[in-house]
Amino acid sequence: MSTGLEAHPSPYAAEAGHLYGVGVGPGDPGLITRRAAALIESADVIAYHQAPKRPSTARTIAAELFSDNVIEEALAYPVTTGTTSHPGGYYGALADFYDECAQRLAAHLEAGRSVVVLAEGDPLFYGSFMYVHDLLRERFPTEVVPGVTSVAAASAAAAGGLTRHEDVLTVLPGTLPVEELARRLADTDAAVVMKLGRTFADVREALRQAGLLERAVYIERASRTDQRVLPAAEVDPASVPYMSVVVVPGLDRRADAAGRARPKAPRHTEPGRVGTIHVVGLGPGGDDRTSPEASAVLGRVAHVIGYAPYVARVPQRPGLTRRPSGNTVEVDRGHEALELALAGDDVAVVSGGDAGVFGMAAAVFEAAETDPQRYSVVPINVVPGITAAHAASALAGALLGADHALISLSDRLKPWDVLVDRLTSAVRADLAVALYNPRSRTRPDQFGEALVAVRAVAAPERVVVVARHVGRPEEELRVTTLGELDPETVDMGCLVVIGASSTRVSSTGRVWTPRYVDERPAGESHASDGG
C-alpha cells in the first residue's frame, strides 16, 4: 500500500558534491551567520569573485574561517569597466566568464567535493553567484545561504528608520540615466541607490532633480572599520568607491499604528495664498500630442497628480513632486489636489487625451462639491488636450466629421442597462459612436454583449474602425464592419468607432463621414455650419 512517502530518485549523481552560495555580509566578519561560518569551515573548495589584480572582498571578510587544506578558486573578472575587445562586447565577455566559472566549479562537484561560493552581502542580491547558480543548479544539489545585505548595513549606519508603516522602498542601481533615476526616486517614499563609484556625480544630480538631495545619506564601506557616513550633498564625487550606497529614508505615510494619515505641513510661499488646480489633458500617446499650454503648466506647478502611467509622462525636474496612484481613485486624487492647493501650492492633475472627456476634470469638480464651502476658494483651470477619439478619427481620415457621440463602456459608475440604452439610442439616431474602455480583463464579456445590442438596431455592413495605441509608435488601425467585428480582438488598448450609416471608405482606404444628410428638402444647401 502506498503511503505517499516513498523516496523519489534524485536527479543528481550519487557522488556529486554540493554547491553552496554563501553570503558573508557587508564587511564586518561578525555579521557572518552561524550557518555560513559552518559551511565555510567545512568546505572542500571555496570560490570567490574578484576584480583583476585586486584581492577578493568576500575572501577578506571570511578568511579567518578557511581550513588549512581548503582548495581555493579565485574567479577573476575579465573586465569591470564595460570596455573590452570581446566580439560580444561587455556582456559577451561576462557570459563567457561565467561559463568558465561554472566549468571550473563543476569539475570539483563531479569529483564529489563540496563547493562554497562566497558572496558579499547576500548571494542573490546583485551578486555574481546568481549567474553561476543559474548554470549549475539543474546539475548539482544547491543551497543558498542568505547574508546581511549592504542595504541593511547602510540603514543601520545611517541610524534612522529606512521605512515605516506603509512606506514603499525602492532599490535602484546608480547606473540608470539621470532622468530615469530622478523619476524613480521621485515616485517612491524611501530609496537605496547602489553601484556608485564613477556614477556618483550623476546620482547626486538625480537626487537634486527629485528634490531629495538634502534627505540623502551617503554610506561608504558599511559595517567596516573604515566606514564613512556623510550627507550625500557634502561628498566629493572623486572620493567615492564602488562599495558605497546612498540611503533616502522614508518620511512615514502614517502618523500612528492605527493607520491614520499624517497631514502634510502646509507650504505657503505667501501668507494666505491659495494655489490653483490645473486639470491637464496630455493628449494621446507621445509628447508630440501635448499642447504648448499643457507643457507650460507642467513646467511650473509644484505637484503632478494622476494615474501612474500618465504621471510617468511628465518629466521630473527640481521642485516637482509626482504623485502617482491607481486606476480607480479619481475622486481621491481630486481631494488630494484640493488640499495641496489650499496649502498654497499649484497642482496639475493629469489625464491622457482630453481631461474633460472621461478624464479627471469632472472628478476634480466632484471632489470640490463634497465640501463647497471649504473648496470654493480654489481656482480650477481645465487645460484641454487632443482626445483619443479625435486622434483615431484623424488617423482613419474624417471618421467623426459629422454628428457623433462618445460613450464609455465601463459600467463602474453607471448601470449596465443605462449604458446599453444610451449606446443603442445613439446608434439608432444614426450618429457615429466612439467607444472608450471597450473590454478589460475584469469585463471580458461586456463588449460582446454591447455588440449584440448594437447589431439589433444597425445594419451589419456599418463601418467600424478599431484603433489601438493611438499616438504611440505601435499604433494600429483596422477597418472592418459591424457584422465582421470579433470582440475577442478588442482590449483596453483599443478605441472602437462605429460609423454612421453614411460613413464610407474611400478608394485609398480612408474612412470619413459626410457632413450632410441626404434626406433634405429640395434646394437645401450642403454648406457647412462652421467652416
Give the pLDDT band of residue 493 (cuts 50, 70, 90): confident
Domains assigned to the chain: 19-147 (3.40.1010.10), 151-248 (3.30.950.10), 277-383 (3.40.1010.10), 389-512 (3.30.950.10)
Joined together, the cell numbers standing for residue 430 give: 444614426
Q: Please identify which residue in the block is written with the cell numbers 570596455.
A: 83
Which percentage of the chain shows pLDDT scores above 70? Answer: 90
Checking if the pLDDT of 524 tops 70, the result is no
Residue 488 main-chain phi, psi, to 5 deg: -70, -15
Checking if the pLDDT of 8 tops 50, the result is no
Joined together, the cell numbers standing for residue 303 give: 505637484
pLDDT digits (tens, 9 = 90+) for 260-310: 444 444 444 456 789 999 999 999 877 788 999 999 999 999 999 998 788
Query: What is the model's pLDDT at position 527?
Result: 40
**Top-confidence residue, 478 or 439:** 478
Choose from 21-35, 278-292, 320-334 the range with maximum mean pLDDT.
Answer: 21-35
Compute how many other C-beta atoms are within 10 angstroms of the C-beta atom of residue 50: 17
Residue 390: name the closest of 381, 398, 382, 380 by CA: 398
**What is the average pLDDT across 318-335?**
84
Q: Name 303's bridge partners.
A: 321, 347
Q: Lowest-confidence range among 21-35, 71-85, 86-100, 464-478?
A: 71-85
Query: What is the model's pLDDT at position 2?
Result: 41
**What is the average pLDDT across 34-52?**
95
Query: What is the model's pLDDT at position 264?
Result: 45
Q: Please work out, in degrees rounded to the nearest 5, the angle formed at the alpha carbon of residue 186 by the alpha carbons of 182 and 189.
A: 135
Average pLDDT, rounded, for the chain: 87
Query: What is the model's pLDDT at position 308?
Result: 77
**Top-confidence residue, 180 or 372:** 372
HEC states along 165-231? Answer: CCCCEEEEECCCCHHHHHHHHHCCCEEEEECCHHHHHHHHHHHHHCCCHHHCEEEECCCCCCCEEEE
Joined together, the cell numbers standing for residue 333 give: 486624487
Distance separating alpha carbons of residues 363 and 350, to the nearest angstrom: 11
Q: Name 406's bridge partners.
A: 434
**What is the average pLDDT across 443-455?**
91
Stretch (H or E) spanning 528: none
Residue 503: name the closest of 517, 488, 492, 489 by CA: 517
In single-letter form, the type of residue at position 410 comes to: S
Residue 148: name the closest of 247, 326, 22, 14 by CA: 22
pTM value?
A: 0.59
Query: What is the model's pLDDT at position 80?
Result: 66
pLDDT digits (tens, 9 = 90+) for 394-446: 999 999 999 999 999 988 889 999 999 999 999 999 999 999 989 877 788 88
Alpha helix (H) residue ranges in 22-88: 34-42, 57-62
Residue 505: name the closest of 397, 410, 385 by CA: 397
Distance separating alpha carbons of residues 432 and 497, to the nearest angstrom: 7
Q: Write the CB contacts of 8 (distance below 8 Å, at least 6 apart in sequence).
A: none
**What is the average pLDDT across 42-60?**
92
Compute how many other C-beta atoms are within 10 angstroms of the C-beta atom of residue 474: 8
